[in-house]
């Protein structure tokens, strides 16, 4: 019988059960890819991460990120949640207030920001406008006439590609009841299986924007993600590219449609980097016990 340490962290919330849960498996160097995938299928969370010794001298640690359907080179809430679990386990960063994560997209920097929240530097993003002929299919799929095409829908790829679509308002975003069967071919044609929809709140709203993230198959699986770091990073990069950044620091709310209350803090530094931050809270601590072969889980 083998054991590995395990934590389950709620990400983008300081209140348990209101954010996006993440399973973090420590000391995973003895697990192979098939074993990691089997554990990720068993946890049945949107992502499970595995902490490994880095092979890049500039990194504090290496992480592999798995959905129930496959491995991702990068994802946002796993990046923030893994760093939280590592620090809470007693790990002391080599540089106070700073961590460097090695993952599929390379090195991702994390930093302690305002109010003691940690944040990660958004990886560079490749932005591709959704071809105009596909706009009609998007309208049919979302079953709405409230899409704000003044901000053209774009595929934004920072390691986890998202089709980012702006609605006229936060209320329009929350009211959506899309047809996933029609939506899936639209996202797939853009090289992604995820749709990030957002809309602005009013001046007295709980955040600057409301966001929802819908998964249409592939490695993302199906359903709605509670709170999504990579999609918020994609949104921040797209707002900058489109000249629509509302402020140097702003907040995005996500998860409302699922009765969650995720809050994602977006900030920009003097070097022009985008930082995605939020609170985390550990909900479960323990260990996995398994026997070889693990593939049969």
Active site residues: 47
How many of the other CB atoms lie within 10 Å of CB of 42? 15
Number of H helices, E strands in the chain: 6, 18
Rounded CA separation 97/117 (Å): 10
Residue 74 and residue 65 in contact, taking contact as beta carbons nearer than 8 Å: yes
* Residues forming a β-bridge with 225: 213
User: Which residues, 6+ apart, have CB-to-CB distance to 267 below 8 Å?
Assistant: 113, 114, 119, 248, 249, 274, 275, 277
Residues with Cβ within 8 Å of 96's Cβ and at least 6 positions away in sequence, in order, are: none
| DSSP states of 64-92 | EEE-SS-EES--HHHHHHHHHHHHHTT--
Strands 20-25 and 48-52: parallel
Q: How far does CA 132 lie from the centroid of its chain? A: 27
């Amino acid at each position: 019988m083998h054991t590995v340490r395990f934590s389950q962290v709620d990400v983008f919330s300081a209140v348990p059960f209101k954010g996006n849960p993440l399973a973090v498996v420590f000391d995973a160097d003895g697990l192979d890819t098939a074993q990691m995938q089997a554990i990720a299928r068993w946890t049945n969370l949107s992502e499970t991460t595995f902490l490994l010794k880095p092979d890049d001298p500039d990194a504090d640690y290496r992480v592999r990120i798995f959905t129930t359907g496959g491995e991702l080179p990068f994802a946002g809430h796993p990046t923030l949640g893994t760093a939280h679990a590592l620090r809470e386990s007693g790990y002391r960063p080599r540089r106070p207030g700073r961590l460097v994560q090695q993952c599929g997209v390379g090195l991702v920097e994390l930093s302690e920001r305002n109010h003691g929240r940690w944040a990660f530097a958004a990886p560079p993003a490749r932005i591709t406008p959704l071809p105009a002929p596909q706009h009609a299919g998007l309208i049919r799929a979302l079953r709405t006439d409230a899409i704000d095409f003044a901000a053209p829908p774009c595929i934004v790829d920072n390691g986890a590609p998202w089709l980012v679509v702006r609605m006229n308002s936060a209320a329009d975003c929350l009211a959506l009841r899309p047809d996933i069967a029609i939506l899936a071919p639209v996202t797939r044609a853009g090289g992604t299986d995820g749709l990030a929809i957002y809309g602005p709140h009013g001046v007295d709203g709980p955040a600057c924007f409301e966001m929802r993230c819908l998964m249409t198959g592939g490695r993302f699986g199906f359903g709605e993600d509670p709170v999504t770091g990579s999609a918020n990073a994609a949104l921040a990069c797209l707002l900058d590219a489109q000249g629509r950044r509302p402020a140097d620091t702003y907040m995005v709310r996500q998860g409302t449609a699922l009765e969650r209350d995720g809050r994602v803090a977006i900030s920009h530094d003097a070097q022009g980097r985008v930082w995605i931050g939020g609170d985390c809270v550990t909900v479960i601590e323990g260990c996995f016990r398994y026997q070889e072969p693990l593939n049969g889980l």
